[in-house]
Amino acid sequence: MIIIGERINGTRKNIKEAIEKKDKEFIKKEIKKQIECGAHYVDLNAGIGKGREREKEDIKWLIETLYEVGDYAVSIDSSDPEVIEFGLSIVKSSDKIINSINFEKEKIEKMIPVIKKYPESKIICLTMDENGIPYDYRKKVEIADKLIKILNEVGIKGENIYIDCLVQPVSVDTKNGIMFLKALKEIKERFNVKTTCGLSNVSFGLPNRKIVNKYFLALCIYEGLDSAIVDPTIPDIREAICLAEMLTDKDEFCMNYITSIKRGYF
Amino acid sequence: MIIIGERINGTRKNIKEAIEKKDKEFIKKEIKKQIECGAHYVDLNAGIGKGREREKEDIKWLIETLYEVGDYAVSIDSSDPEVIEFGLSIVKSSDKIINSINFEKEKIEKMIPVIKKYPESKIICLTMDENGIPYDYRKKVEIADKLIKILNEVGIKGENIYIDCLVQPVSVDTKNGIMFLKALKEIKERFNVKTTCGLSNVSFGLPNRKIVNKYFLALCIYEGLDSAIVDPTIPDIREAICLAEMLTDKDEFCMNYITSIKRGYF
């Protein structure tokens, strides 16, 4: 299970402030915490709503700050293809993530040249298009199918394609959870690609969201989720990953579980 | 999700003592607690290892004690067909559970006449035979198939047949969890029957067993488990049932979840 640490995101108040004040120590601490808790990639989102040029400057600062902590693998997270391209040009390692593309015509046209420039990157692909996020799992799979074909055509291997079927809140429609899980299951069965999930939307509007997120994550892992964009410093998240992996035969001799309990991780 | 409350079991030290001392108040309290926490059936097991006649006497006492609390539905739990038959003869309601039969030749030959006498009972069927509990999920399904055929032949409807595929500890073999889940899934797909699970064996030999049990229960509910033999007074158990039901579209408007959080159930 690949963990993409989601904490460094400019839409979060304390991260926004740290970016504005260029508070390196705060950002470094946030990076360290996530790495210590098992993050394989550090997601960097510099979107604090001050325009493209400022976002480019800020993503550069975030990447440089990260390298002061260590040579960790990065996920460049932006809704702006130019920012992603700029960010990728600074990242040292070939092991990096583009977060994200989707099937909106204009977006994909802009992203394809960037992807071609960095064909070894992993790419998070959201199953949405001009009409937004589909409700029905079959529509989600349909969009995934189209995205995979386009990416394969420009030479991207399935192992670098990470489909995110975009879970919607169960508080809005109680079918939203299974719509995601059914899409995930079908994608794992039909295509030779990876999957990921920005988990927390499932619990939007509900009390005690962490408890909802952790059970949902466990169900996703059971259905073959390869990666998750999560906050690995939350004990509930570590618990769900560890338990779901053990119960689905991904923890030899239950050693990771036993060690995690001994160390008091959750 | 039908909850069969497992606390009144003569193999547990405090229950054994209560049975020996004929401590009605203790047993009544145990029954009340389980009902308050949502048990639909109260499992009664009078096996304290003192022979058949004593077990019959004790199951009679347990059933009578239960009726002093209320007219609750009962699951008669014994490895001895004679004790089960005797217990069933005392139970007032037709809504009762036989716990359990399996595919051992001698056992099933003795149980069939009992089942014929109480054809309206629900029957827990364990997927084991003379060779013990099979490891492979296909073998579990095979035994379930044979048991279902035999029961259908004597007039038992699928809706009253509760298959328990007997989960084995993941500490013994990390495939044991998915072997159970695969069997459960196939049984729900192939046969028109119900399923159940005596959950806690999955975590045997591991630390913090409750945490293992709760995630496993959630995965089972996701795969369509209809009922579980559990201790409903454990908050982890209520949590797993509530969350798994909400995430699989079995909690309209998330009302049960929201109410459970408000009431501090977990």
| pLDDT confidence bin for A234, thresholds 50/70/90 | very high
Q: What is the average per-residue pLDDT within B218-241?
A: 98
**Tokens 């338990």 label which residue?**
A243
For chain B, the farthest-separated pair of C-alpha atoms sits apart, in whole angstroms, at: 51
The nearest CA of chain B is from the CA of A174 a distance in Å of 5
Interatomic CA distance for residues A93 and B139, integer angstroms: 49
| Residue A41 and residue A6 in contact, taking contact as beta carbons nearer than 8 Å | no
Is the full-model pTM beyond 0.90?
yes
Q: What is the pLDDT of residue B216?
A: 98
Q: Which residue of B has its CA nearest to A260?
A: B207
- For range B209-218, the mean pLDDT: 98
CB contact under 8 A, A247 and B215: yes
Cβ neighbourhood burial of A184 (10 Å; 0-12, 13-18, 19+): buried
For residue A136, give every residue at least 6 positions away whose Cβ sits within 8 Å of its Cβ, in sequence order, or none.
A179
The closest CB to that of A248, out of B177, B211, B246, belongs to B177
3-class secondary structure per residue, chain B = CEEEECCCECCCHHHHHHHHCCCHHHHHHHHHHHHHCCCCEEEEECCCCCCHHHHHHHHHHHHHHHHHHCCCEEEEECCCHHHHHHHHHHCCCCCEEEEEECCCHHHHHHHHHHHHHCCCCEEEEECCECCECCCCHHHHHHHHHHHHHHHHHCCCCHHHEEEECCCCCCCCCCCHHHHHHHHHHHHHHHCCCEEECEHHHHHCCCCCHHHHHHHHHHHHHHCCCCEEEECCCCHHHHHHHHHHHHHCCCCHHHHHHHHHHHCCCC
- Using CB atoms, pick whichever of A170, A202, A254 lies closest to residue B206: A254
Q: How confident is the model at residue A183 (pLDDT cuts 50, 70, 90)?
A: very high
Per the structure block, which two tokens stand in for B78?
A: 């014994």
Q: pLDDT category, A122, cuts 50, 70, 90? A: very high
For chain B, how big is the Rg over CA atoms in Å?
A: 18
Parallel, antiparallel, or unpaired for β A96-101 and A73-77? parallel
Helix (H) or strand (E) holding A58: helix A52-69
Contact B107, B133 (CB under 8 A): no
Residue pair A59/A20 in contact (Cβ under 8 Å)? The answer is: no
pLDDT category of residue B104 using cuts at 50, 70 and 90: very high
For an interface test with A, which of B247, B255, B257 has the most A Cβ atoms less than 10 Å from its Cβ?
B247
Q: What are phi and psi of A109, to 5 degrees?
A: -65, -35
Looking at residue B117, its pLDDT comes to: 95
**Which run of H or of E encompasses A255?**
helix A255-262
A246 to chain B: closest CA residue: B174
The Cα–Cα gap between B177 and B167 comes to: 7
- DSSP state, A249? T
Instruction: Give me the residue from B178, B247, B266 closest to A216, CB to CB.
Output: B247
Rounded average pLDDT over A80-95: 95
Q: Which residues of A touch B (CB under 8 A)?
A: 170-171, 174-175, 177-178, 181, 202, 206-208, 211-212, 215-216, 218-219, 222, 239-240, 243-244, 246-249, 251-254, 257-258, 261-262, 266
What span, in angstroms and rounded, lies between the C-alpha atoms of B45 and B58? 9
Give the nearest partner residue to A248 out of B178, B247, B266, using CB atoms. B178
Chain B residues whose C-beta sits inside 8 Å of any chain A C-beta: 170-171, 174-175, 177-178, 181, 202, 206-208, 211-212, 215-216, 218-219, 222, 239-240, 243-244, 246-249, 251-254, 257-258, 261-262, 266
What is the rounded average pLDDT of the residues A164-187?
98
What's the pLDDT at B264? 96
> Of A174, A263, A266, which to mutate for an interface test with B (greatest number of B Cβ within 10 Å)?
A174
Confidence of residue A64 (pLDDT cuts 50, 70, 90): very high
pLDDT tens column, A140-166: 999 999 999 999 999 999 999 999 999
Looking at residue B256, its pLDDT comes to 97
Tally the C-alpha atoms within 13 A of residue B137's C-alpha that lie toward its C-beta: 14
pLDDT, position B60: 98
Query: Which among A178, A206, A208 has CB closest to B249?
Result: A178
B179: nearest CA partner in chain A: A248
Q: What pLDDT does residue B70 have?
A: 97
Taking contacts as CB-CB distances below 8 angstroms, the residues of chain A near B249 are 174-175, 177-178
Partner-chain contact B175 A239, CB within 8 Å: no
- ipTM of this complex > 0.90? yes
